[in-house]
Structure 1
Amino acid sequence: MFSVYGVTGRVYSGSYEGISRVNPMRRAQQGRSVEEDGAELGADIIPSQFPAKVLPPTTAEQSAINAYRSTLPSEFERGPLFHARQIMQTKVISVNVDDTVAAAWELMRESGIHQAPVFNSAAKLIGVVSERDLLTSLNLSQDAPTEVLDRRVSDVMRSPVVASAPLTDIRRIARVMLEYEIDGVPILDESERLVGFISRSDMLRVLMKDPPLSLWC
């Protein structure tokens, strides 16, 4: 389940297929060329369409899988990864729409993050801002702003923003990231409360660190 939030609040709630009906999201989708799909990691690594069915491993492949599993400590064993809540970061740094660009950049730099959800004074999600967005208004010298344009987060953030429910299939979240050029997806519960965040780095971390042989089985 996905939702789209803008400065006026939630403008869409429903399936992945319906996101394209939101005009700003549709324009972002149409603005991306086909050959760029998957360019972040190489088109051979991330296809634009996910297979409908995963073929079972051959006998040789299963033997290799079993050999790999035997080398893992028992505490590493876990079930298949399906949902956002299983991989999301639960300690999320957010910024306020009225924060200055310099203050938001400093917070993100100190926190070691590259993007953050943006909330208004009523604690409602209205956008996402990235390090790249903020740097358009900053001149830096030795990692400190030396010249700051008189701008606030509201001037540079990306809105509307796609958010997801905790039980959303992570493959669909990956598709949204690719299709709409999104670097991260806020995770909101039924009360529209921020409970997590999934970035592209989180997706890659799953592939690298978690037992990958049970991923999405």
Structure 2
Amino acid sequence: MRASDIMTTSIISATPDMTIRHAAGMMVFAGISGMPVIDESGRLLGMVTEGDLMHRAEIGTGVKQRSWWLELAASTTELASQYVKEHSRKVRDVMSTDVSTVTETCPVADIAELLDRRRIKRVPVMRDGKVVGVVSRANLIRALVTMAPEVPATGESGDNAIREDVLSAMKDHPWALARENVTVENGTVHLWGPVVRPEEANAIRVAAENVPGVKDVRTHFGLPPSDQASR
């Protein structure tokens, strides 16, 4: 799955000369927390987000007066930039210009990694220097809902086939159970073995739950395998 498969193409954007109040209103009514800033030629200039509008003089959320020694430590440039961010009425003065972008062919996994690494919530999708879409965290969640089908609660596979699939799902993982510690009876997987850490127990359980045909998973760590369950 790639950016083009999940991106929002009805782009809501700001212009650099738009007022802060107008931009804030657009985000509120559209239910978004940020948008690209695009000039008349369609060139991407930056992004304006809720974070850029957090500290504003109008609502009394500007950075509070620093102690005298912090004022001395801060550079004139830093203090001037802070003042502009808090008092300017134009988007161009508060937008973030260090913008990460992706192309339409960028894999969804790479986008998720980018959002996490940069600690951002959305990324513009570019084609020939123009913004053609936006991928947000919400788009990734929607993709999870629409593209990841539920694992069937029942299946045609017999218990022996289910057991082999469970073993295969755990194969090569350091927390995998030995063959003799996995038994299946009427679609219910029983997991046996020594006491393991909660994280490992969860990984083993999830691996079994994701196998088609599994109706239920029961763990019995710290107990020997039951002779009554299917082998």
When the two structures are superposed, what TM-score results if normalisation uses the length of structure 2? 0.49
3-state SS in 1 of match to 2:100: strand
What's 2:14 paired with? 95
How far is 1:110 from its partner?
1.7
For residues 80-129 of structure 1, what are the alpha-carbon distances to aligned partners after superposition, in whole Å with 9 as ceiling and x for unaligned?
Answer: xx100101011110001121111111111122211100113432102111
What's 2:88 paired with? 150
Extract unaligned runs of 5+ from structure 1: 1-81, 141-147
| Two-structure CA RMSD over aligned residues (Å) | 2.2
Alignment partners' CA distance in 1, 2:8 and 2:56:
28
AA partner of residue 160 (structure 1): D
Contact 1:93/1:117 (CA < 8 Å) preserved in 2? yes
Contact 2:38/2:44 (CA < 8 Å) preserved in 1? yes
Alignment partners' CA distance in 2, 1:210 and 1:85:
15
AA partner of residue 7 (structure 2): M
What's 1:211 paired with? 147
What's 2:30 paired with? 111
User: If you compute each CA radius of gyration, which structure gives the higher value, 1 or 2?
Assistant: 2
Alignment partners' CA distance in 2, 1:122 and 1:91:
18
Q: Measured at CA, do residues 126 and 106 of structure 1 come closer, stay the same or move farther in structure 2, by a change above 3 Å?
A: same
Extract unaligned runs of 5+ from structure 2: 60-85, 151-231
Alignment partners' CA distance in 2, 1:149 and 1:94:
22
3-state SS in 2 of match to 1:195: strand
Alignment partners' CA distance in 1, 2:92 and 2:11:
19
What's 1:192 paired with? 129
How far is 1:163 from its partner?
1.1
For residues 123-157 of structure 1, what are the alpha-carbon distances to aligned partners after superposition, in whole Å with 9 as ceiling and x for unaligned?
Answer: 210211112312322645xxxxxxx9333212221
Aligned length: 125
3-state SS in 2 of match to 1:110: helix
What's 1:28 paired with? none
Alignment partners' CA distance in 1, 2:48 and 2:93:
10
Alignment partners' CA distance in 1, 2:112 and 2:126:
17
Alignment partners' CA distance in 1, 2:51 and 2:133:
21
AA partner of residue 136 (structure 1): H
What's 1:168 paired with? 106
Alignment partners' CA distance in 2, 1:205 and 1:192:
27
3-state SS in 2 of match to 1:107: helix
Contact 2:42/2:131 (CA < 8 Å) preserved in 1? no
Contact 2:88/2:94 (CA < 8 Å) preserved in 1? no
Q: Measured at CA, do residues 187 and 138 of structure 1 come closer, stay the same or move farther in structure 2, by a change above 3 Å?
A: farther
AA partner of residue 85 (structure 1): S
For residues 150-178 of structure 1, what are the alpha-carbon distances to aligned partners after superposition, in whole Å with 9 as ceiling and x for unaligned?
Answer: 33212221112111111111111111111
3-state SS in 1 of match to 2:88: coil
Give the share of equivalent positions with the same residue, in percent: 30
Q: Measured at CA, do residues 195 and 138 of structure 1 come closer, stay the same or move farther in structure 2, by a change above 3 Å?
A: farther
What's 1:84 paired with? 3
Runs of 4+ in 1 over 3 A off after TM superposition: none
